[in-house]
Structures are given as C-alpha cells and as structure tokens.
Structure 1
Amino acid sequence: MESPERVELPAAFEDADVDVLVQLIADMMERVMAHNDQIPLSPESLTRFHSRTAPGISILDYLRRIVRFTKAERACLLITLHYIDQISARMPAFVLSSLTCHRFVIAAICVSSKCLCDAFCSNSVYAKVGGIPVAELNVLEREFLRIIDWNLTCTGEVLQEYYVNLVRQFSKGGYVISDAQSYSSLSSDSDMDTEFSPTSSPAPTPQPVMQTLHPHSSGNVPSTSRREPSTFLIDTATLAPEAPQPPTLEQNMAFAALQQEHAQELESESDMDTAR
C-alpha cells in the first residue's frame, strides 16, 4: 500500500493556509480532550468554562465556523494554545476537555482578536458564532482576563514553536514544513525530545495534560531557554488511557450550584443592561 502524499507547508505559520492551521490545532485539542475526558470530574475542578454536556459540534467544525464568520487571524488561533498552557499553570483546576474546550476557545479568540488585531467583531457577533448568550460570553471574557492576569501576548517565536510541533505531531500525517533548516532551533528532534517528553506517573488515574510553556513573571515574557513542559508540545499518544467514570452525586450537586450561581450573575447583568 502506498504511503499518503506528503504536503509541504510554509516554514512560517503566518504563511500557512488558515484551514490547515485549524486542522492542526483541532487535531491536537481532540487528543488532549480524549485523554482528559477520562479523568473523573471532581466538584473542585468545576470552572466557568464547564458546560453541563459536551456540545454537539466537533472542535474542528467549531473552529472552522469561527474562522468563517469572524475572519480570525492565524496568530489569534495559535495563541489559544498558549493561553491554555498559561491558564492551566495559573489555575490547576482548569482542564481542557469536551466540557470546557468550546467555551474556552470562543472566549480566547474573542480576547486575542481585541488584543492583536486592528479590526475585530463585537461580543454579540462572537457570542452568536459561538452559540452562547452574549451575557454569558461577557462573564467568560472577564473570568478569562482575571485568570490570565491580562497577559495576552507572546513572542512570534513561541507561536512558531507551537506551529512546528503541531505539524510534527499531526495524527493523520501527510504534512511537512518546507525549508525546515531555517527553523532548526525550534524543530530539533533532540532538543524537543529532551525538553518536552511527558513523564510517567504511578497514579491510578490519568493526570490532566496541562502544563505551562512560558510562565510569566512580573508581566515579562521569559526567554525560551527557560521553557517548561507544555500541553501542546508533547505527544499525547504516549499517555496511558483509563476507562471514564460517571460523575458522582456530589459532583452533580456542585455543578448544579455553580450553574445556579452563574444564572444569577447573568440575570443580574441583564437587569443592569435593561436599566441602562
């Protein structure tokens, strides 16, 4: 059987086709989610980004929908991975799963577009595209900014590193970066194998795939020489799966309480908007 034809991608992420970039990002997110979905949900792990059930649209189609209707730029898509690493480091309770991914992604792209782009959509547009009420997106946006402490940017080298590793770890194969020598410092196999190999754990349940790449210190972006293991720069295929467990009564009660508190906040915000 013949091996599939390999498609050459541009050396720089800025030149990559947007849909190819979406495929790469969605592929990695799906693998991380598949692992994290097997971790039993605990009441203390609930966050604003949790939904009661997983959305009926895949993250690939969700990202394509966002790109189609908001014209999200390449940097805004890639930096979403950086945000996940940063927030996972700041908020250990957050885990990228089928219950959190979609809401996190729409909030992240909404925020990154405002930060990185000269032109961007209103929250009402992002909310409609994301399939959530605008008041809910406002709450998610505030929570996102609070957790990440307004550290919304990173260097182009960091985004390029995500791009190189997404191509290398694409589960379907078939993509290769042209002129790889130009980015040897980013894509050296020996360098990556040494710094980004996941470590095994004796714990009886899978551990969340959520480490930081570039933790901020006093608002400054540290040198790449100080980088640490990252969610998206490791091979998730090496993580041992375990059968998922249904939520307990305590978890369901905690989730219901969180949802009720969230609903009260949305109602309060709606009343304030009406009063204005």
Structure 2
Amino acid sequence: METSRVELPAVFEEAPIDQLVHLIADMMERLMSHNDRIPLSPECLTRFHSRSAPSISVLDYLKRIVKFTNVEKSCLLITLYYIDRICTRMPLFTLSSLTCHRFTIASITVSSKGLCDTFCPNHLYAKVGGISVTELNILEREFLSMIDWRLMCTREILQDYYVNLVRTHSTAKFVINGAQSPSTSSDSDLDMDSGHSSPPSPSENPSRWSRPSTAEPSIMQDLSQRPTIEQNMAFAALQQSQDYTNSVTERK
C-alpha cells in the first residue's frame, strides 16, 4: 500500500510544528540506530551519556518538550546544526540512545535562551526533560563548551536543514509544496554577529558563520556541497571505530 504524500510549506516557519517534530525525530532515530552499533569506549563517555536508554521515544520526548515549553521551530531545527557542529569539533561524540535525550533538552534550553525573547526557567526545562535542575545546569555548561559558545546560525542554514529533512525522510511521504524552496529571508536572519538583516550566503563567505580553525573543516558550505548530518555522523562513527581499534591494539 502506497503511503499518502504529505505536502509541506516551502519555508520551515510555516510548517506545522507537529510535522517538523516528526521530521526531526525520524532523523534522530536513524542516527541513533546507526550509532548504537558502535562499541562504546571509556574515552567516548560524556556528561550526556545515560546509564541506560530512556524508555520514552525521541518522538514522544520532542512532543513533550513542544507541549510544555512552547519551543519555537527555529530552536528545534538548530539542534541538528548543533549536532553537526559538535561532531565536527569532537569526532568521538555520537548521538545515540544514551545521549540523545539529554543532548536534546540541553540544546532546547540553550537555543531558547539564545534565540528567543521569552523562554522558560531551567527548573521547567529540567522537569519536562526528566532530569534534575542541577544536572541540567551542568549539561547546559557542557553543551556551551562543546559548541564553543557559538549559539547562532542564519535562517538560511535552518531552511537548508528543513529541506534536507523532507528530502531524506525514511518514509519519503513528505514533499515540499513547489519545485524550489527559498532559503533566504530578509526578515528572519538568526545570525547576531553582524546586525545585518540580509547576510550573504554561506558559500560566499563561509568563515563568517563558523570561523573554523585550519584543523576544523567548515560545515557551512553550499547545500549541494555541504555534507548532510547523516554523512557527518557516519564520519564520526568511522573515526570512533578506528580510534577504538587503535587503542585496543596499543593495549595488546
């Protein structure tokens, strides 16, 4: 039986938030399924690792966050940007069933404070996320360190992630209304570094968005050239597997 197509607006701001949640959860579930097969070594452990995987699914977890925190769509999408950024800076980190939930609530907490005029207090984010306030405070500081305190990206980049989510959804049931989806907007730029309302595209000046070091490859390339979040996670998985094999060999 063929799955019925679901048409979505060309821009993420107009997409129903419940559909956006399904798109993001689908991507995260696939990343988790991939990364859960990677052997976990001591050097890969972070504050985001749980002792066991939470019983709540990522989809239900995101729905819970949306229901009780009134999170904005940009904060949901920018979580994917943070995953790419952190996996570029820290190749040993992977989004798995042990890290996804804590990572997500920390990301929502941080991005809401950085992007939104109004946001919830930490005790509410902690309650919704199922952790203590003390733990969330620690995760928030760790998260900021992992992204090098670079909270902002452009609206253009979030639009690119939205298009990619629709294009790569596992069921292929979502389709964007219209042949092309705009990826620029003069009124909804999220980059706070310059104060300009209409920044150039990342391909024109990629260093402006990510300011990578010579040892850190930029992930802010043109959409046709920029690796997808799946490719970045696959690279991180390969790097982690190689590091783990090398460490075992050295111990022998």
Calculate the TM-score normalised by the size of structure 2.
0.76
Letter in 1 for 2:110: V
Gaps of 5+ in 2: 185-208, 239-252
1:24-82 CA deviation, whole Å, 9 max, x = no partner? 00001000100100000001000111000000000000000000000011000000000
Tell me the equivalent position of 2:4: 5
Tell me the equivalent position of 1:203: none
Contact 1:70–1:126 (CA<8 Å) still a contact in 2? yes
Larger radius of gyration: 1
- Over 3 Å counting, the alpha-carbon distance change for 1:42 and 1:217 in structure 2 is same
Q: Does 1:89 align with 2:88?
A: yes
Q: Does 1:64 align with 2:63?
A: yes
Counterpart CA distance in 1 for 2:149 and 2:220 is 19
Q: Which moved more, 1:223-232 or 1:88-97?
A: 223-232
Tell me the equivalent position of 2:189: none
Contact 2:106–2:136 (CA<8 Å) still a contact in 1? yes
1:94-126 CA deviation, whole Å, 9 max, x = no partner? 110000000000000000000110010000000
- Over 3 Å counting, the alpha-carbon distance change for 1:5 and 1:235 in structure 2 is farther
Counterpart CA distance in 2 for 1:86 and 1:64 is 24
Contact 2:84–2:219 (CA<8 Å) still a contact in 1? no
Contact 1:216–1:222 (CA<8 Å) still a contact in 2? no
Counterpart CA distance in 1 for 2:181 and 2:92 is 38
Q: Does 1:78 align with 2:77?
A: yes
Counterpart CA distance in 2 for 1:106 and 1:21 is 17
Counterpart CA distance in 2 for 1:158 and 1:184 is 8
Counterpart CA distance in 1 for 2:137 and 2:91 is 23
Q: 2:211 aligns with which of 212, 216, 230?
A: 216
Tell me the equivalent position of 1:229: 227
- Over 3 Å counting, the alpha-carbon distance change for 1:234 and 1:152 in structure 2 is closer
Counterpart CA distance in 1 for 2:22 and 2:112 is 20
Counterpart CA distance in 2 for 1:184 and 1:160 is 5
Tell me the equivalent position of 1:32: 31
Counterpart CA distance in 2 for 1:50 and 1:28 is 19
Instruction: Give aligned-pair identity as a percent.
Output: 63
Shift of 1:233: 6.6
Gaps of 5+ in 1: 186-213, 241-276
Letter in 2 for 1:84: I
More helix by share: 1
Shift of 1:93: 2.1
Calculate the TM-score normalised by the size of structure 1.
0.69
1:165-204 correspondence to structure 2 within 5 Å: 165-183=164-182
Tell me the equivalent position of 1:142: 141
Tell me the equivalent position of 1:247: none
Tell me the equivalent position of 2:249: none
Contact 1:166–1:232 (CA<8 Å) still a contact in 2? no
Shift of 1:146: 1.1
Tell me the equivalent position of 1:194: none
Contact 1:81–1:232 (CA<8 Å) still a contact in 2? no
Tell me the equivalent position of 2:102: 103
Shift of 1:153: 0.8
Q: Does 1:41 align with 2:36?
A: no
Contact 1:76–1:109 (CA<8 Å) still a contact in 2? yes
Contact 1:8–1:176 (CA<8 Å) still a contact in 2? yes
Contact 2:75–2:108 (CA<8 Å) still a contact in 1? yes
Shift of 1:181: 2.3
Q: How many residues are treated as equivalent by the alignment?
A: 207
